[in-house]
Each structure stands twice: as C-alpha cells, then as structure tokens.
Amino acid sequence: MMISANTLIFILGGLTFLFVFSWFKKAAIAVFKKELASNDNHKSVWSKLFQVFLVDWLICIIGVIATGVVFLAIFGQFQ
C-alpha cells in the first residue's frame, strides 16, 4: 500500500502546525508557571488547566486540518 503525494503533503502540513503550536505553548507554559508561583489560591488552577486543555485540543484539531488543506491547495497550484 503506497501513500499518495496528497496524503504526505497533508500530513506535512499537520505536523508543521503542531510543531509551531508547540513553540507557542512552551511560551504560554512559562507565563502560566509565573502566575502559579505568584498565586496562593491553587483551587482555581485545575479548572483553568482543563479549560486550556479543551481550547488547545480544539485548536490542534482545527489547525492540523486547516494547515493540511492549505498545504494541499498550495501544492495543487504548483502542480
């Protein structure tokens, strides 16, 4: 079973998005650690973390699909 060029381009687009998004998240985690260190009330932290998880999950799903489609569109224009 061979993988088509379109599938590889789509996967490359998705991986590119995840790589760039992970850089963004690394910076966001650094800011969150500073906020956590300065905040004595740790009860609200878990609800914030769960909200961040849900938003990041949705961003990853939509971003991977959209970036894959964009890569395919660009590939189609140059073909």
- Residue 60 tokens, joined: 């990853």
- Residue 52 tokens, joined: 């961040």
Specify the pTM.
Answer: 0.71
- Residue 42 tokens, joined: 């740790």
How many Cα atoms are found within 13 Å in the side-chain-facing hemisphere of 6? 6
| Beta carbons of 74 and 5 less than 8 angstroms apart | no
From 24-33, 52-61, 70-79, the region with the lowest mean pLDDT: 24-33
From 13-17, 18-22, 27-31, 56-60, the region with the lowest mean pLDDT: 27-31
How many residues are present in the chain? 79
- Alpha helices by DSSP H, 1-79: 5-38, 45-77
Q: 17 versus 45: which is more confidently predicted?
A: 17
CB atoms within 10 A of CB 21: 16
